[in-house]
Structure 1
Amino acid sequence: MLLRDPDVRTVLLVRLRVGLGDLLCGVPALRALRAARPDLHVALLTWAEMEPVVARFGAYVDELVPFPGWPGIPERPPRDPAGFLAAVRARRFDAALQVYGDRPAANEVTEAVGARRVGGFHDPARHPADPATHLPYPASMHEVHRHLSLFQHLGVPPAGEDLEFPVTAADRAEAAPLARGRYAVLHPGATSSSRRWPLRRWAEVGDALARSGLRVLVTGVPGEEELTAAVVGGMREPAVDACGATSLGGFAALLAGAVLLVSNDTGAAHLAVAVRTPSVTVFLSGDPRRWAGLPRDRHRVVRADVGCNPCPHLDCPIDHRCADRIPVGAVLDQVALLPAR
């Protein structure tokens, strides 16, 4: 098995385009790899801006190798692919694993980096590969389980399913001015509009939580100020607009001290799982089979099956019925089922 081969001493994990939730859901597999092969040098190929997140997981990942883009990989045009390949080939990795998905372009990158051996996910119809070192991408499997299944196929037994996000004393100090008393966090943003539940309904959820005796903090990343301001402005009860008020580490500490989080299907939901805070996630275009927090009794899901969801659209091309058909009461019902904290 590739990852049990003692001659494999360095491995490049070809993760490519990735966000916070993707990285957090991959942590159980990274933890399993480190437990099975503590001698292995593990490098992660992904966007350079993910360095602050990857640095939190120094126990499992030894370095980030910046990914400059590649034809067929979404979000950004490639920058100097020849220079990138020359630099990464000079590293002479013993193995490169495609841990991105079913895009043949990801397999092309993996095969181009000059590693002695290659493996990982693939689409057998579009990119046939050696079944001893490759696994057909299990698209309907939960993100945590599919990475664990790949590493198990390559010789690494699972070492638990828990997500992690190390929170430091500096993170807790940063969050302290906001983390007072018993409070709930609402996170109404998401990268794509197809994953955003209507703001007026977020305001109603906030009012209900405030009337239950909780302070309400409405959070967002820089650039989501209009969203959070609209929610706070639409509420009848007092709330704190905490958009961009902390770094990622400070936000993790803020979530760690919260009674609960209510969020769209975005990175905040996965971060709540990682810091053990009960949560309710509103799923619209996303697929809870693949992305809902585990365990499900602690991380509840609200979703309306409207026939066309889940879908790949960043912006709904019709009437966003998956959002319109989720009433406020459905979210509050799931909040009521969360374990007490």
Structure 2
Amino acid sequence: MRTAMVVINEGVGNGIIAAPLLAALERRHPDWRYFMATNIALDTEWVRSAVGMQGASGSFPALWRRFLPADREELWNFIDRNGVDLVVNLRMEFAEEDGNYFGFRAEATKRGVECWDLHELGERPQRLPFAEQAASLLRAHDVPVDLDRPAWLADRRQPRPDVVGCYVGASAAVKRWPTDDWSTLIAQLADRGLSVEVAVGRDAEEQALLRRLSSAPGVTDTVFLQSLEALRDWIAGLDVLVSNDTLAVHLAAALGCPVVTLYLATDGAIWSPVAATEVSRTVQSAVALSCSFMKPNGTCRLYYTGCPAPCAAGVRPPDVLIELDQLEWSMRKINHQDVAE
């Protein structure tokens, strides 16, 4: 039996991405135990049962994922105390900014602790969905991973015909599409005869944004979601989702809900879900990809430090409609209308 520490990027959406990967690790090594930082998604019973995983045996502080020198003594005490002999580092970071981890890994080698990490795939992150990259790492270590069933929450899906959801919240202001653009898109969706529900999470800025949109032409309902379960159930009841928030997007993919994602300050080639293109479409800001603050791992250096967000101008309402029309959902509606006529 081995004891591992599994490290992932922080965030509930990353928990949704990691769940099938952890389930694969558990199936391959049912006698292993592992520790992780707490994650709302991975600590939720309906997530674990749907994907077929038991979950971690215990937890460690979330900031240890950065392998900071200041945490090193406490981290090694934890490793020694719990008999950890393997660190599975699924945190997406590029080599030039991962020196703290490399320092830890060098010491781990001396101490006889094995490390698996995404750097094994190459010095620079590939522009492939993160889940595919992490799966490649696990497969290289003899852990079979099957990503051919992306909709592992599909049994909860109860779509309401012609109901489009717009999730306008996001974890940082730089990731949020401007109110005027949402208003334009919502009006155009309503012109197509669709009912448009607009939703956000618990963040005060998000809720203020939703209140501004509540009177926009075409909005049929506003939804304040207070929990992961509430977000799940709302998406499960949509015919299609448009979102600038990746948690909502990865949850939609797990539910099998068609989704169009606006990648304003993030590289969608890396942070999009593993799903067929007829179910999941991306609208990528070219401004973001050319910005000097975009890191090779597909994230922005200024997410949480403040930025005027010029990348938002790289996504326009017509771009979203074009991708919406490429979904199988849209094609099916067009075919149905042709038959009816």
TM-score range, shorter chain: 0.7 to 0.9
Name the structure with the higher helix share: 2
What is the aligned-residue identity percentage? 22
Q: List per-residue Cα deviations over 1:108-140 (Å, max 9, x = no partner).
A: 5676699863211165xxxxxxxxxx5546512
| Contact 2:259 2:280 survives alignment (8 Å) | yes
Q: Which residue of 1 aligns with 2:23?
A: 31
State the TM-score, normalized to the length of structure 1: 0.77
Does residue 1:100 correspond to 2:65, yes or no?
Answer: no
Q: Letter of the aligned partner of 1:147 in structure 2?
A: A
What is the 5 A alignment of 1:179-328? 182-223=162-203, 224-233=206-215, 235-244=216-225, 246-293=226-273, 294-306=275-287, 308-309=290-291, 311=294, 312=300, 313-314=302-303, 320-328=309-317
Q: Letter of the aligned partner of 1:192 in structure 2?
A: A
2:133 alignment partner, one of 123, 126, 146: 146
Does residue 1:157 correspond to 2:138, yes or no?
Answer: no
Give the 3-state SS of the residue equivalent to 2:23 in structure 1: helix
Distance 1:275 1:24, change over 3 A: same
Distance 1:14 1:289, change over 3 A: same
1:89 alignment partner, one of 80, 83, 92: 80
Note the residue ranges of structure 1 that are not aligned, 5 or more in a row: 1-7, 124-133
Q: List per-residue Cα deviations over 1:194-218 (Å, max 9, x = no partner).
A: 2221111112222222333333221
Q: Which residue of 2 aligns with 1:130?
A: none
Q: Letter of the aligned partner of 2:263 in structure 1?
A: F
Question: Is the deviation greater in 103-112 or in 183-192?
Answer: 103-112
| Contact 1:191 1:266 survives alignment (8 Å) | no
Supply the distance in 1 between the matched residues of 2:181 and 2:92 (Cα, whole angstroms).
Answer: 34
CA RMSD, 1 decimal:
3.5
State the TM-score, normalized to the length of structure 2: 0.77
Supply the distance in 2 between the matched residues of 1:187 and 1:151 (Cα, whole angstroms).
Answer: 33
1:13 alignment partner, one of 6, 11, 16: 6
Note the residue ranges of structure 2 that are not aligned, 5 or more in a row: 295-299, 333-341
Question: Is the deviation greater in 246-255 or in 316-325?
Answer: 316-325
Q: Letter of the aligned partner of 2:290 in structure 1?
A: C
Supply the distance in 1 between the matched residues of 2:138 and 2:279 (Cα, whole angstroms).
Answer: 27
Q: List per-residue Cα deviations over 1:250-282 (Å, max 9, x = no partner).
A: 211221121010001421111111110000011
Distance 1:148 1:164, change over 3 A: same
Distance 1:274 1:49, change over 3 A: closer
